[in-house]
Structure 1
Amino acid sequence: MKRGFDLVLATIALMVLAVPLLAIALLVRLTSPGPALYWSDRVGKNNVLFKMPKFRSMRIGTPAVATHLLDDPARHLTPIGSFLRTTSLDELPQLWSVLRGDMSFVGPRPALFNQDDLIALRTEQGVHRLVPGVTGWAQINGRDELPIPEKVELDAEYLRRRSFRFDLTILWLTLVRVSRRDGVSH
């Protein structure tokens, strides 16, 4: 049921958002050199790597690390990068990953390939068995502000509590948090 829901919602979202997606891609290309999309190596279900697309909000040559690990993240942003991140519009290309089955709408956010501490703790808790999500329980309970152990505890809580109803609650709370721009690092 979850996979069917993901396919239907992603298809509808892509049809509704086709023009805005093209407009954002064009804006990214017009405001900074390089491609509109950034393909990030991420850790998926069972710790298998996959390529996750995002609209590029950072300049070409920015190190592939979590934003909070950069010395001066603002220095690496493209002219519209901060806007894309605070509005979460940079995440829209992940609809492609949902269609492919690499991601679900709800699940733990996929770790970067080099976040060994996060990957190890998730594996210890069994969270690695889940399909990663565009949003998740940890996302709506702190997002970028959470230390890794707390994030993993929330991911493990999602693993224990997961249900279609809980996913719908998380999707609703995500819309609320994104509209208020809560917990976003720029």
Structure 2
Amino acid sequence: MIRIFDFLASFFGLLFLWPIFLIVVIIGLFDTGSPVFIQTRMGKNKQPFKLIKFRTMSVETKSVASHLANNASITKLGAFLRRTKIDELPQLINVLKGDMSLVGPRPNLFNQEELIAERDKLGIYDVLPGITGLAQVQNIDMSTPELLAKTDREMIETLNINVYFKYIIMTVTGSGSGDAVK
């Protein structure tokens, strides 16, 4: 049932939000010259997939977890996109394709060894990663791998359709500050 909702929500989200996508792409061309950011992330069963986001950092920024990135690399447009969470909208494409769910553990990079080890212990990779979830609405990021993995496990164990919608509503209404950057 959740996959059906994921599919429908992402399909209609993309259908109705395309004007925002177009505006961000045009402004992003002037901001960084490359408004879309695609990065290989770890998905369900540790399978790689290409995560799609709007670029919020300069093109030269090293590919590391957000909490390891330098705050100076965030562009002015990027700061706005992060604050409003608009940078996450292209992930609706990932949800439509079945790489992600709207709700699930945030997908990590393959070089985040400590987080991968913690998530492996708790079976986090048995589910699709998500755009939002319990850790995001509680402002828990990837800088605390053990806490993040435990929070992800708690979310997985308690996830039902009501909680699923709760996390989506909390995210849309402003809970969670997005990816932390030093």
TM-score range, shorter chain: over 0.9
Residue in 2 that maps onto 1:75: 72
Q: CA deviation at 1:75?
A: 2.0
Q: Which of residues 93, 112, 123 in structure 1 aligns to 2:109?
A: 112
| Counterpart amino acid of residue 30 in structure 1 | F
Shift of 1:168: 1.0
Structure 1 pair 146/101, CA: closer, same or farther in 2 (3 Å)?
same
1:36-56 Cα deviation digits (max 9, x unpaired): 211011110011111101101
Q: In the alignment, residue 74 of structure 1 is paired with which amino acid?
A: N
SS of equivalent to 1:144: coil
Matches for 1:16-35 after TM superposition, within 5 Å: 16-33=16-33, 35=34
Change in 2 beyond 3 A, CA 1:9/1:146:
same
Counterpart-to-counterpart distance in 2, 1:134 and 1:153: 18
Give the aligned partner of residue 157 of structure 1: 154
Q: How many Å separate the matches in 2 of 1:183 and 1:82?
A: 11
Residues 183/80 of structure 1: CA separation in 2 closer, same or farther (3 Å cut): closer
Cα distance in 1, alignment partners of residues 157 and 89 from structure 2: 28
Q: Write the distance in 2 (CA, Å) between the matches of 1:75 and 1:156.
A: 33
The alignment status of 1:61 with 2:56, answered yes or no, reads no
Q: Quote the residue 1:43 is aligned against.
A: 42
Shift of 1:146: 6.2
Q: Deviations over 1:113-139 (max 9, x none)?
A: 211111111111011101000101111
5+ residue gaps, structure 1, are none
Equivalent position to 2:164, from 164, 167, 172: 167
- Verify the 8 A CA contact 1:32 1:79 in the aligned structure 2: no
**2:2 partner amino acid:** K
Contact conserved, 1:37 with 1:56, CA < 8 A, in 2?
A: yes
TM-superposed deviation, 1:12: 1.0
Deviations along 1:89-131, one digit per CA (max 9) or x if unpaired, are 1111000000000000000010112111111111110111010
- Unaligned 5+ segments in structure 2 are none
Aligned positions, number: 181
Match 1:121 to one of 118, 121, 131: 118
Amino acid at match of 1:182: S
Cross-structure match for 1:185? 180
Q: Alignment partner of 2:152: what SS?
A: helix
Q: Residue 42 of structure 2 aligns to which amino acid in structure 1? A: V
TM-score normalized by structure 1?
A: 0.91
